[in-house]
Structure 1
């Protein structure tokens, strides 16, 4: 039982003094965890992590879904150690850049060229810029999905839009071709790009949806962009486009590419990508030009990841372990008679859990109670997004922890709320207008559109 978080709480307060928000990613913030129970970690191995208080956890959603092979995965570390002795950053391209590009394009046969960067937002924003340049249009149509970029064209559509000019970005519904057709009608001849995740943890493409999006883009001369940040190396090594057989014009990659090392990629058709190169007669696009994009350690890590996916089947391992986890937790909820309130849903390699109150409404307070009890039982995660490193023992530990947590959850349902069971304030959406709960009422006229 983890019941001591004092050192973590102390360090978290020091972080708040030095780092806005107390973390470098909003999804990692202390407000996303039960009050005074946000672990500050020291290290990890496989699917387990340790915090400064000596607590141990089975971790999920590792590295915001970037770690699929496990923490400190030895073949990646070996490749990195070997590269460290050869230097990290140079004034000219290295052979490693060529080899990494060949590896990448062998996985994504619909792409002709690739450019590496460090963050997912680097790639998605470069894709939007390229689409606008190629079409001479401004409007970007994004699918109504949680997150695409930290840059203005997307953040300007969220609740945290302070300081951002109104973007030329419009939304359409997933699996809703009519909503996309309507946008093309309302913004006739103005849409530069359609941006979407081909699939999510909760939503598979309906028959004909992706094909219909592809045709609409072809008919209107619009650039189709797939965000493969999550689906890449989790749906398959070739991403969702390989699973569903629909090829975008551009695709954006990151997260699991380096098993936690910082690397992202923009890939696409040659005639588009060359607009940012040296072999075009058109006005050149400032596509991607970053100091650390070709940094050799992350490229070496990426090549080791490719090798791991070629020699084994991490996606299959994730799917099998995820299925066992979902079955175990859902069975426990059913036995307790609360399966209408808590359930594990989604693709087995990308699971989430739902938390509802006694009336069946999604509840942040009940979500926080579940997180609190899972932390105490040695499970850390805002989801059940699994990795290939999760063993049968890890899954069993998680099911046992969930069973105990669900017993507390049922008590809360029976008593009409979390009072007396939840130790502090509920968690809050990461992307929200105001920091403090007492200010949330004043933001009701601007409800958060995409809590993550």
Structure 2
């Protein structure tokens, strides 16, 4: 059963020499995995991936939630191949830009106009700028119970790891709690006429809106003249093709999209009401707002991928498949944990298309050490993932194999609960929070 990660460890050490953190995304860093067990991948197909050591894994997380149809989904690849011979970047818009925009606006209920870009961080930052331009205000009310909105300064200034963000920028964000209308109302009342926008995820993997909550947020924004922004980066195409706004029936003024739009190809979007979006266009008498101007914002490859994704959603029902597979996985792992007598300390929770597993120590506290132990056991049994975020490509056999891997991990997990010393059951340091202020010392296996 023991897997070797020798080549992965060597390549990871080399990555640390040339890439800060050894990865291009915080959540992909080696400190997010058990020490010496951070696979460096070479290929994927459907819900499986292979690493440089030849190990095969059932993968979860699926490209940081960007893959809903599976790796190398042929209809998307076919669409991409079809445009390669036509050219990728031009000095004028292409007919593909119009077709993709019309596709997008055909399934997003809260959008009259859309502008494409390469990542959702740019989309959220532009939504903030557009809201400020429209209202003439500076302050941003941001849901502080949700973990991530952008790599831009307006949000990074709210993180523990905010070195380099000016205090003047940090001072422009006001936090409020999810499902807590009174906390948002307090933000508006504390500084009347100063809040440009409210930004939040309409729902998250762990939290659904309470009855009336989103409607109440909408009403508060209307009453105080603020722009309502829904971050649909995760919920878009994973809750529904039309995102959370289609599920819950509340229309934002602006919404930001990314992740699953291209099934792995880089595409994101800012969308919203015409009177706001046109502030960045040519049909306005007001001072223009700089709205998403980039060389690669509308390159043809990602637009073709996006159109093929939309066609797949209209042809089939990937969301229903994800929810069914996710329900089977959650039920199986939770049942196995209950049978092992550790259901209080290890569970699978969240919306079934976007699940996480939670690990607790014997005192019921969230535990990075217990998480490390569980990840170690899963990796050795051919399951890769910091979560159980699933795709429509996961088969019943993949789900069953994952349940059995989790079941086989539970004796070690139970032993760690009994002794209170999980560190004795894995090598090296525990996995670390991604957004922490200080970097802990790490041991790298360096190839000379």
TM bracket (short chain): over 0.9
1:3 & 1:27 partners in 2: Cα distance? 23
- Kindly provide the CA deviation profile for residues 295-350 of structure 1, in whole angstroms up to 9, marking residues without a partner as x: 00000000000000000000000000000000000010000000000000011101
TM-score (normalizing by structure 2) = 0.97
CA–CA separation in structure 1 for the residues paired with 2:221 and 2:419: 53
Indicate conservation of the 8 Å contact 2:109/2:251, yes or no: no
Give the CA deviation at 1:109.
2.5
Equivalent residue, structure 2, for 1:362: 366
Residues of 2 paired with 1:45 and 1:408: CA distance? 31
What is the distance in 2 between the residues matched to 1:122 and 1:20? 21
Of 284, 287, 291, 1:287 maps to 291
Residue in structure 1 matched with residue 187 of structure 2 by the alignment = 183
Alignment match, 1:380: 384
Matched, 1:84 2:84: yes
Measure, in 2, the Cα distance between the counterparts of 1:161 and 1:76: 38
Distance in 1 (alpha carbons) for counterparts of 2:228 and 2:349: 29
CA distance in 2, matches of 1:295, 1:209: 38
- Distance in 2 between the 1:65 and 1:86 partners? 30
| CA drift at 1:406 | 1.5
Gaps of 5+ in 1: 439-452
* Equivalent residue, structure 2, for 1:408: 412
Deviations 1:175-195 (A, max 9, x none): 000000000011211000000
- Structure-to-structure mapping, 1:332-351, within 5 angstroms: 332-351=336-355
TM superposition shift of 1:411: 1.2
Aligned to 1:443: none
Contact 2:119–2:268, Cα closer than 8 Å, also in 1: yes
SS at match of 2:422: coil
CA separation in 2, counterparts of 1:414 and 1:158?
Answer: 35
Aligned-partner Cα distance in 2 for 1:419–1:276: 54
Corresponding residue for residue 173 of structure 2 = 169
**In the alignment, what sits opposite 1:434?**
438
Q: How many residues matched?
A: 438
Any conservation in 2 of the 1:333–1:403 contact (CA below 8 Å)?
Answer: yes
CA contact (8 A) 2:110 2:254 kept: no
TM-score, normalised via structure 1 length: 0.96
3-state SS, counterpart of residue 225 of structure 1: strand
Contact preservation (8 Å) 2:369, 2:423: no
C-alpha RMSD of the superposition: 0.8
Moved more, 62-71 or 411-420: 411-420
- CA distance in 1: counterparts of 2:417 and 2:211, whole angstroms: 39
Whole-angstrom CA distance in 2 between matches of 1:3 and 1:313 = 36
Q: Tell me which residue corresponds to 1:230.
A: 234
- Going from structure 1 to structure 2, the CA distance change for 1:2 and 1:300 (only over 3 Å counts) comes to farther
Q: 2:45, 2:377 → 1: CA distance? A: 23
- Shift in Å, 1:405: 1.0
1:110 deviates by 2.1
Paired with 2:411 and 2:233, the residues of 1 have a C-alpha distance of 36
Q: Distance in 2 between matches of 1:325 and 1:67?
A: 18
Corresponding residue number in structure 1 for 2:58:
58
CA distance in 2, matches of 1:420, 1:141: 44
Write out per-residue CA displacement over residues 82-112 of structure 1, whole angstroms, 9 at most, x where no aligned residue: 0111110000000000000000000112210
Q: How does 1:19-418 map to 2 (within 5 A)?
A: 19-144=19-144, 145-166=146-167, 167=170, 168-418=172-422
SS of structure 1 residue aligned to 2:404:
helix
CA distance in 1, matches of 2:409, 2:419: 16
User: What is the match of residue 441 of structure 1?
Assistant: none
- 1:7 corresponds in structure 2 to 7
Residue of structure 1 equivalent to 2:446:
none
Q: Would the aligned equivalents of 1:2 and 1:378 in 2 still touch at CA under 8 Å? A: no
Q: Distance in 2 between matches of 1:380 and 1:169?
A: 36
Q: Secondary structure at the match of 2:110?
A: coil
Give the CA deviation at 1:64: 0.2
